[in-house]
């Protein structure tokens, strides 16, 4: 099928599968990387790229399928196991020892021994460090503490370390995410050096241009499955995007534009130092406003301020035209604001409580007479919410942690809607849930607007925002940079306002 059959696979995954708490992250994926090759792994957030490389690097163990090194089946019990077989992983968040010197980090675990047992030959250590950096034509101060280096500097040290360790395969998880274009060029030079030495490289990235510059082969994952593996020159940019996004993109908008109602929420010059600055926006009844931007652009922080989780320092919030102060979630709820928080496991669900108890948690008073819970009423209310939100559970008394990710998310939404909010804030409501559940959640959100609810939707998936929102507000580094019409704008345009300058 492929031309370079002469190269044997150095590292390979055969039909691997992996689930986390009922959520399938990978299903029957096969993937291999050969000596002297850069194999790029692409896909949207949550497509399963990180899970796959974590299986290859011994951070997770597959539920199904096998991992092979040079054709021999291996079972990694730990990342250390993988390291011993020459598999090196460079993490998104690099983990060097910041207080040790560059040379010490380079040769960590392989220090040249001194004459006395247990000592280190410092001269040899620095000589070897200089030699490794020289291979990459780098001139870093070997005695400087690691923490003084830039991210790019740390990356090159990691690469040099992989060379020093005679790594068979190096896995790079978005190495270019946090470095400048000039540094990317230096990174690519280092990668080429690695290639020439016969190392196999797995390279994860989101950036189109990079992929075609560096990759020999590309594998696209979508929703935990492999969509296509081919030589890089056989992909067109459009074809690559189509493979990543799938048919969903062409499905287009999920709802008709509605006539905007009265203004329900207005923010004027809302600021919180270090989080967001001078944010003004309006949400009307029956309208879905999409908040676009990269992670860390301040979208979740604005939502937290609106819901009283982390109040703003200055600026004004108006509900129904009247200025209000929101100092706690309880106050927000009294004003008719409901929120589905980002990260349902972190701040949404109480995992050990049952589905019923999680649904009624925020509005337990509705099921009570005085402080006493009326069990029958609670059961009724929970049953209605389960039906209304399409939660699939065998029993309302099931522990919520046993549900799939999508159903867990619906539980959080059901809880929020129980208070009949007039404004609903949803922060990443479809992150990490499967396609079916995603569709259900989209329908729930559209239904909310239809019933006259004002909706503020935060999502990192642009297609989702463009399919649902009536207006798009883009944030970058804590500030609003654009207000766009999702029906006419392209993804690239939105990104141009979201990407840091």
Give the CB-side neighbour count of residue 395, counting CA atoms within 13 A. Answer: 6
Name the minimum Å distance from CB 412 to another protein. 9
Percent helix, strand and coil across the chain, each to the nearest 5:
35, 25, 35
**Under a CB-based contact definition with an 8 Å cutoff, are residues 430 and 358 in contact?**
no
Using DSSP, state whether 346 is helix, strand or coil. helix
Q: Cβ distance 449 to 258 under 8 Å? A: yes
CB atoms within 10 A of CB 203: 25
Closer to another protein at the Cβ: 298 or 308? 308
Q: Using the minimum distance from each CB to another protein, give the nearer residue, 144 or 330.
A: 330
CB of 340 to another protein, least distance (A): 9
Query: 65, 16 in Cβ contact below 8 A?
Result: yes
Q: How far is the CB of 353 from another protein (least distance, A)?
A: 6
Closer residue to another protein, CB minimum distance, 258 or 402: 402
| Closest CB 395 distance from another protein, rounded Å | 7
CB of 336 to another protein, least distance (A): 13
Write down the least CB distance from residue 456 to another protein, Å.
16
Question: Is 219 or 409 the residue whose CB approaches another protein more closely?
Answer: 409
Q: Which residue has the tokens 């010490």?
A: 104
Binding residues for another protein, per CB under 8 A?
A: 307, 309, 328-330, 332-333, 339, 341, 346-353, 357, 361-362, 364-365, 368, 371-373, 375, 394-395, 397-398, 415
Two tokens at 440? 């259900």
Nearer to another protein, 324 or 435 (CB): 324
If you compute the radius of gyration of the chain from its CA atoms, what whole number of angstroms results? 26
Rounded to the nearest whole angstrom, what is the least distance from the CB of residue 333 to another protein in the complex? 5
279, 306, 296: which is closest to 423 by C-alpha? 306
CB of 248 to another protein, least distance (A): 30
Q: Which of 202, 192, 187, 231 is nearest to 49 (CA)?
A: 202
Nearer to another protein, 58 or 348 (CB): 348
Handedness of CA 382, 388, 391, 392 (dihedral sign): positive
What are the counts of helices (DSSP H) followed by strands (DSSP E) for the chain? 17, 22
Q: How many other CB atoms are there within 10 angstroms of residue 295's CB atom? A: 9
What is the three-class DSSP state of 88? strand
Question: Whose Cβ is closer to another protein: residue 240's or residue 339's?
Answer: 339
d(CA 438, CA 228) in angstroms, rounded, equals 23
- Minimum CB distance to another protein smaller for 329 or for 463: 329
């Amino acid at each position: 099928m492929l031309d370079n059959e002469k190269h044997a696979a150095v590292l390979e995954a055969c039909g691997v599968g992996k689930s986390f708490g009922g959520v399938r992250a990978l299903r029957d994926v096969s993937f291999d990387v050969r000596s002297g090759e850069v194999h790029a792994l692409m896909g949207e957030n949550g497509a399963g790229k990180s899970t796959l490389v974590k299986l290859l690097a011994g951070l997770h163990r597959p539920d199904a399928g096998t991992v092979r090194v040079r054709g021999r089946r291996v079972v990694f019990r730990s990342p250390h196991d993988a390291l011993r077989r020459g598999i090196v992983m460079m993490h998104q968040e690099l983990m060097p020892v910041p207080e040790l010197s560059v040379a010490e980090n380079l040769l960590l675990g392989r220090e040249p021994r001194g004459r006395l047992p247990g000592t280190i030959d410092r001269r040899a250590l620095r000589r070897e460090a200089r030699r490794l950096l020289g291979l990459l034509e780098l001139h870093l101060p070997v005695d400087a503490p690691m923490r003084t280096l830039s991210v790019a500097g740390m990356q090159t040290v990691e690469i040099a370390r992989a060379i020093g360790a005679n790594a068979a395969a190096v896995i790079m998880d978005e190495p270019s995410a946090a470095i400048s274009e000039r540094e990317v060029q230096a990174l690519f030079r280092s990668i080429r050096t690695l290639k020439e030495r016969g190392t196999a490289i797995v390279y994860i990235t989101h950036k189109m241009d990079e992929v075609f510059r560096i990759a020999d082969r590309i594998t696209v994952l979508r929703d935990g499955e492999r969509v296509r593996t081919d030589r890089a020159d056989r992909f067109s940019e459009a074809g690559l995007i189509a493979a990543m996004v799938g048919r969903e993109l062409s499905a287009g908008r999920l709802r008709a534009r509605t006539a905007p109602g009265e203004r329900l929420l207005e923010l004027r010059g809302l600021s919180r130092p270090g989080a967001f600055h001078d944010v003004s926006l309006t949400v009307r009844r029956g309208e879905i406003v999409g908040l676009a931007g990269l992670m860390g652009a301040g979208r979740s922080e604005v939502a937290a301020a609106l819901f009283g989780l982390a109040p703003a320092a200055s600026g004004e919030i108006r509900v129904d035209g009247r200025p209000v102060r929101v100092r706690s979630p309880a106050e927000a709820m009294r004003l008719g604001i409901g929120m589905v928080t980002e990260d349902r496991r972190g701040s949404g669900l109480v995992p050990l409580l049952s589905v019923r108890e999680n649904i009624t948690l925020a509005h337990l008073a509705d099921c009570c007479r005085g402080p006493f819970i009326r069990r029958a009423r609670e059961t009724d209310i929970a049953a209605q919410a389960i039906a209304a939100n399409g939660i699939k559970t065998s029993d309302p008394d099931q522990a919520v942690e046993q549900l799939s990710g999508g159903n867990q998310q619906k539980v959080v939404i059901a809880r929020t809607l129980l208070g009949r909010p007039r404004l609903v804030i949803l922060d990443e409501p479809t992150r990490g849930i499967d396609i079916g559940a995603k569709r259900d959640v989209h329908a729930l959100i559209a239904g909310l607007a239809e019933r006259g609810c004002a909706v503020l939707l935060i999502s990192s998936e642009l297609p989702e925002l463009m399919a649902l929102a009536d207006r798009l507000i883009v944030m970058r580094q804590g500030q609003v940079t654009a207000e766009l019409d999702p029906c006419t704008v392209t993804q690239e345009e939105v990104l141009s306002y979201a990407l840091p300058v």
